[in-house]
Homo-oligomer: A and B are copies of this chain.
Amino acid sequence: MATIYFTPGPAHLYPTVPNHITEAIKAQIPSISHRSQTFMDIHKLAVDGLQALLTIPSDYSIFFLSSATEIWERLLQNCVQHTSFHYVNGAFSQRYFTIANDLGVSPVKYEVPWGQGFPLDPNEIQAETEMINFTHNETSTGVMLPMQSLAAYRQAHPAKLITLDMVSSAPYGQPDWKVVDAAYFSVQKCFGLPAGLGVLILNDSCLAKAAEKKATGRSIGSYHSFLAQQEKYVKHQTVETPNMMGIYLLGKVVQDMLEIGVDNIRKTIRERATLLYSLIEKHPLLTVSVTDKKFQSPTVIVPNLKEGAPSLVDKWKQQGVVVGNGYGKMKGKQLRFANFPSNTDAEFERLIALLEEDM
């Protein structure tokens, strides 16, 4: 019997993926030219689908890169000359900050302990900041920022770029595109696809900033500079031979999601999250780690293991259900449940049954 994954790293495959792969191989998609009309149609299907799914205005571009990690590097490389601002409350928001340091852009961070949210006050941002970076959903800790808190930043800082890491929240989260200049995710989380593709949605302000930086003589990278990518994007192509299968599968899964309707998908995630949090609250071995309800993530749910509790990870794995371990320093102290659209109702009920077994 197949294993059921509730892991927020690479995750459970979206149920239609195996069939889409079979179809792609039958159609010999991996052998077609990435400059052919067939590929441009594949590219367009993915772009159009994402625009519909996340209500993306048509003047935003959608770039396909290799990972969200690459997207961090490209955002900083293209859009920051002097300094960027980072809200840090876990391993991934910290890693973005570290990458900014590696690239020498003198980043500033506002840090709170793992598992906490932020006051989210636009006055925290210094005048020199060129880019304000939010992690919508911190995958290491299960903290989700309320999307509506971002509007005040746009109002207070109209000329600064605002970016949103939606790695483990898209398409659950709906960005307000009047507020967000760039949002991004990788496909192996909520989209339930094989890893190897990062998706960056960005507007003209980001492209203008890249052009401005380039004009000063500073490097904005080479083949994946935003200007080079934009030139190909408008032709429904990519600069290099991309992960064509990844783009094909993304387009197909987004179509499947559109058929269900994104509102229905979001509703299911919310309902399952409510049930999970309430079971964790009552569970004899677990407590909820994100205590401020305002910041509890519906897509990555992180219970603490009570002192002396057995590792449920191993026990459940033997029964064919794999949940995530606590991340990094929280390994063995927390669990992480991915509550992504890939899992069927029957699969979700298996997780619930395992939780109830110890109650």
A72 and B241 CA atoms in complex are apart in Å by 14
B33 touches A13 (CB 8 A): no
B243 touches A243 (CB 8 A): yes
A241 touches B18 (CB 8 A): no
Knowing A30-B195, A99-B222, A222-B102 are in contact, say whether A244-B25 is a contact too (CB < 8 A). Answer: no
Confirm or deny: A10 has a beta carbon within 8 angstroms of a beta carbon on chain B: yes
A30 touches B70 (CB 8 A): no
Confirm or deny: A188 has a beta carbon within 8 angstroms of a beta carbon on chain B: yes
Confirm or deny: A225 has a beta carbon within 8 angstroms of a beta carbon on chain B: yes
B102 touches A221 (CB 8 A): yes
Within 8 A of B (CB), among A47-85: 65-70, 72-73
Knowing A18-B25, A28-B2 are in contact, say whether A9-B241 is a contact too (CB < 8 A). Answer: yes
B21 touches A34 (CB 8 A): no
A74 to chain B, nearest CB (A): 10
Knowing A13-B30, A30-B194 are in contact, say whether A69-B240 is a contact too (CB < 8 A). Answer: yes
Confirm or deny: A156 has a beta carbon within 8 angstroms of a beta carbon on chain B: no
B188 touches A73 (CB 8 A): no
Residue from B70, B99, B221, B243 within 8 A of A196 (CB atoms): B243
B13 touches A28 (CB 8 A): yes
A193 touches B66 (CB 8 A): no
Within 8 A of B (CB), among A7-25: 7, 9-13, 17-18, 21-22, 25
B18 touches A3 (CB 8 A): no
* A284 CB contacts on chain B under 8 angstroms: none
* A193 CB contacts on chain B under 8 angstroms: 30
A17 to chain B, nearest CB (A): 8
Confirm or deny: A103 has a beta carbon within 8 angstroms of a beta carbon on chain B: yes
Chain A interface residue count, CB cutoff 8 Å, equals: 55
Within 8 A of B (CB), among A148-167: none
Confirm or deny: A216 has a beta carbon within 8 angstroms of a beta carbon on chain B: no
* A224 CB contacts on chain B under 8 angstroms: 70, 73
Knowing A103-B222, A196-B196, A223-B69 are in contact, say whether A31-B18 is a contact too (CB < 8 A). Answer: no
A240 touches B103 (CB 8 A): no
User: What residue of chain B has the Cβ atom nearest to residue A39's Cβ?
Assistant: B10
A321 to chain B, nearest CB (A): 12
A243 touches B31 (CB 8 A): no
A174 to chain B, nearest CB (A): 25
B70 touches A195 (CB 8 A): no
A205 and B58 CA atoms in complex are apart in Å by 48
Knowing A66-B243, A244-B10 are in contact, say whether A221-B34 is a contact too (CB < 8 A). Answer: no
A239-258: CB near B (< 8 Å → 1, else 0) gives 11111111000000000000
A65 and B66 CA atoms in complex are apart in Å by 9
* A186 CB contacts on chain B under 8 angstroms: 241
User: What residue of chain B has the Cβ atom nearest to residue A223's Cβ?
Assistant: B69
A323 to chain B, nearest CB (A): 12
Nearest 3 pairs of A and B residues by beta carbon: A196-B243, A66-B66, A69-B240
13 contacts between A and B (CB under 8 A): A9-B33, A9-B34, A17-B30, A18-B25, A30-B195, A69-B240, A70-B224, A72-B222, A73-B224, A99-B222, A103-B219, A194-B245, A195-B242
